[in-house]
Homo-oligomer: A and B are copies of this chain.
């Protein structure tokens, strides 16, 4: 989702990681499972999802390569959402106990962990801000403005536009139309899956 949440693996952890290979659609854990592990995405993508009353999927978070996930579950007894691989993915699995122990024993690790959580928190709040905007083009603009690289706020969409639509709290039809309109009106430029602001 946001590259600002990416970190290296603290060196103290490397030894305890167990490699996990997932196919698209594989579930890594279910909501309600007793927490046992924290994960790191090496490649691919993992979605943390819950389901609305109508059964529609709500993406709480999407972990991309270089990011941990389920790190907020360290101090709860159960996972509070499902984790599902969105594509073929390679993960590292770290037992929660090891993390907890490192937090106690390794000051450098604890500091890295605090920084990691703080980045995730800022990222989540940015998303709250985006979802509070009341029309589609503002959400797209906000995405480019807050996540984009360079002077033109360039963003290369990871995954499908359908996924992006769900992340923006829109239907995919609305996102397609909004992008088309914004491009026609000269607000954004679009080259395949790369978007940027004009000027």
Contact = CB atoms under 8 A, between A and B. Distances in A.
A53 to B, nearest CB: 7
Contacts of A120: 121
A53 B110 contact: no
Contact of A122 (B53, B80, B113): B80
A169 B50 CA distance: 19
Nearest to A100: B111
A162 to B, nearest CB: 15
B114 A110 contact: yes
Contacts of A131: 128, 131-132, 169
Nearest to A53: B138
Nearest to A59: B132
Copies of this chain, count: 2
Question: Which secondary structure characterizes the binding site on chain A?
Answer: helix
A53 B76 CA distance: 38
20 contacts: A52-B138, A58-B133, A59-B132, A60-B129, A61-B125, A71-B118, A72-B121, A72-B122, A76-B122, A80-B122, A103-B110, A103-B111, A107-B107, A110-B110, A110-B111, A113-B114, A114-B117, A121-B124, A128-B131, A132-B166
Interface of A: 48, 50, 52-53, 58-61, 71-76, 80, 103-104, 107, 110-111, 113-115, 117-118, 120-122, 124-125, 127-129, 131-134, 138, 141, 166, 169
